[in-house]
Structure 1
C-alpha cells in the first residue's frame, strides 16, 4: 500500500511537471512570433498565425523585443493601406500605444512606431491615427458594457476598478457616463447603431488585407461589388450573413448583370452598383475600402483618384522644382561669365527664385 502511494505521488509530480512544460511551450508559441531580418528589416513568419486562437490582450512580444536596428517591414496596398501579416501587426500594435502616460510630446508616437519600417507619408499618418482612435473608442465601449451599471451610484463603480485602468481615468469616465451629457450621447449612439442593417464578417482582418490576398489569389482587381460580397459572406458555406445582406447582394448582382459598366473602377463613386443599392457615401469613409480612403479623395469628376496618383502628382512637382533649381543654377553661372546685360540677368534670376519659393511653399501645404 505504501509503495502504491509513493508511485502515485511520483506520477502526480511528473504529471504536474509535464503539464507545466506543455503550458510553457504553448505560451511561447502563442507570444513568440518569430521575426526574420533582411538588411536591417524584419519580416514576420506567419506560419503560426493560421491557427485559430482566442482573442486576449494585445502583447506582441516579438515586436517589442526586436534587436536594436531591426524593424518589421510593412507593405502598402493600392490605396496606401498596410497589407499582409505585417500590416495586421501594425494595426494591432497601435492599440498598446494608448497606454502611454502622456501625449504632450508627439515624438513618443514616432519612437514607439520605430519598430516598423513603412513609408512616412501623410496617408500612413492618417491611417495610424484613425486606427488608434478606433481602438480607443472600442476599448471604452467594452469597458462600459462589462463594468458599468447605470442604476449604480458613482461610489459603487469606484470600488470596482477594472483591470488595466487607472483609478483617476476610471473616475472621470464613470462620471461622464453618469452625466446628462453622457446619457444623451449614449442614446444618440444607440439610435444610430440600431439603424445599421448591414454587418461584415471580416473580424480583425482589414478590408485592405483581405482585398490584397484575394486579388493575388484570383490574379485580377476586385471591384466594390466583389469586395462587398467577399466581406459579407460567412466563411463556411459562402452564404450571406443575414437576410438584409442577402437582399443587398441580390440587388447588386441584378444591377451588375444589366449594367456591367457600373462595376468598373472608373465609375463615379456615387453612381456605381454599391452606392445605387446602399445609398450615397458619407463623408469620412467609403464602403468596402476600410480606414483611409474617403469621398474627398476622389476627383471632382468623380472618377477614382487613388493615393498613388497623388504621390505621382507630388513627384511631378518635385521634378519641376528640381528643374527650376537647375535653371537657377545655370543663370547664376551665366551671370558670372557673361559681359552682357547684368541687370536683365539679375531680373531673370530674381523671377526664377520667386517661382521656386512659391512652388516650394505650395508643396509644403
Structure 2
C-alpha cells in the first residue's frame, strides 16, 4: 500500500494498526508506511503554515495529530510530532532552494511560489530566509553538519525495524540452519518477506531469481557475490548474538545486586532482633520498606 492509498483510506474511516516494540518504537511493515504518512503531513503547509520561525511555534499540531493518530495514552505523541516537525523543516528548505531565485524581483518570486502556499505566507518566508540573522544561522548549521563523523546509512528503515529483523533472522536460523544458504526460502526471505519481482535480496543489481535459483550444474552468478552475501548474513547473526549476550549480562548483574541487597537486609534484621528483641515500630517499618523495594 502506498502512502497516498493509506491516507485516502483513512479519510473513509479505515485504520492502519501499528506494532510497537518494548521501547514503544514502531516496527514491522506498518513502520515504513507510518514514516511516509508523517512526512506527508509535516510537508502539508495547508495544515502547518510555512510562515513560522520554528516548528515549536507552529499551531494546530495537536488537532492534526488527534485526527490522524488514535493514541489514547499519548505515549507516542512526542516522537510522532518530532518526525512531522523534521519533515516540515526539511521540506520548506527544499522549496526555498527550488522556487526562490535571487536574480528575480520580489514580485517574480511571489508569482513562482509553490502550489498550495498562500502568497502572504510565501512572502513572509522569503523575507525570513533573506534576513541576515537567518542566513548566519543556516551557514552555521551547514558547518555543523560537515563535522558529523557518522551518518545513518540504513536508508529510510529505522534502527528499531532493522534490529527486529536481525533478531527474526537469528531465530529462523537457530530453528533451521539450512536457511543460511542462499535460496528462495532462506532466512532473509522468511524474515523480510517476498522481494520485488526480478530481484534477489542481498545480491544487488544484475542477478535475477530465474538465474540464481533454477537447477543448473554451472552457476550463472559470480561466486564472490554469493560469498559476500553469506558473509553479510553471518555478520547480522553475530550482531544479534552480541546484543543478546549484553542483555543477559545486564540481567545477571541486576539479579546479583538484588540478592546482595536482600542478604544485607537479612543481616540487619537479625542484628536488630538480637540486640533489642522485636525492633521498634519505626525500625520495623523501615525494614518492611526495604523488603518491598528489594522485591521490585
User: Structure 1 length normalisation: TM-score?
Assistant: 0.41
TM-score (norm 2): 0.50
